[in-house]
Chains A and B, each alone.
Chain A
């Protein structure tokens, strides 16, 4: 199943992804980086298209990681 995955050391915590997510699955952790709630994420890729830093991507996530 595809889910959004954020590379935290590239994330600039601008919050564009969180603002765009139709499922409200993304939040900004203490102004440091974006965190994806895997349970809410539907892997639509809207966040990936909006992310200016290219840190968030939609990838295949194994069931163990869900």
Chain B
């Protein structure tokens, strides 16, 4: 969100975040669309060596800004320094990727027939919430829906964490330990070092 500057189409991508969660609420197959938010930052970082996605296109970050700054839902207090420390950022990234791997494994179990589809989402990797209305079968195999439930859980959990830190600290505190941000910054640092040699 920019102050007194010309607005671009990508300044409104916070709407996409709301639309994404709304679509996934009614049909879990839409959760797959969240992969765009995973793949695009990586493409920008690997191919372009920049964080243009974080800087301009992150709908989630923009949503925190709209809610925190424009709608005054943030205390706008300084977050503790450890939140943006390297060990916490990379620790959280490791944890996040482990949980992503677990979700992929769960999808594989459904794919292989070892487990049946669970029509529920897991919040904060702990609390199971029934989500039966979001899937009534389709022409697609069950593992596709299982991935949807798992991925939607991940997206919703990270957004809820972001909303909590937004309310407690500054609007975009989530950005200081966002796993995608950490990963893409790491890639950019490696690329910048190589480029300087």
Contacts and interface: CB of A to CB of B under 8 A. Distances in A.
Interface string A3-17: 000000010111110
A15 to B, nearest CB: 3
Interface residues of A, number: 24
Given A32-B192, A49-B76, A52-B175, A14 B1 contact: no
A31 B51 contact: yes
B68 to A, nearest CB: 10
A31 B184 contact: yes
A31 B78 contact: no
A25 interface: no
Given A50-B170, A52-B176, A19 B189 contact: no
A54 B181 contact: no
B49 A30 contact: yes
B77 to A, nearest CB: 11
Nearest to A51: B170
B47 to A, nearest CB: 12
A52 B3 contact: no
Interface residues of B, number: 43
Contacts, number: 98
A57 B82 CA distance: 17
Contacts of A38: none
A52 B84 contact: yes
B197 interface: no
B55 A30 contact: no
B172 A52 contact: yes
A28 B51 contact: yes
Contact of B2 (A14, A20, A28, A31): A20
B157 interface: no
Contact of A22 (B4, B49, B55, B185): B4
B17 interface: no
B192 A15 contact: no
B185 A13 contact: yes
Interface string A45-66: 0100111111100000000000
Given A14-B178, A29-B192, A30-B188, 15 more contacts: A12-B89, A12-B181, A13-B185, A14-B61, A14-B172, A15-B54, A15-B56, A19-B1, A22-B4, A28-B55, A30-B192, A52-B169, A52-B173, A52-B176, A53-B83
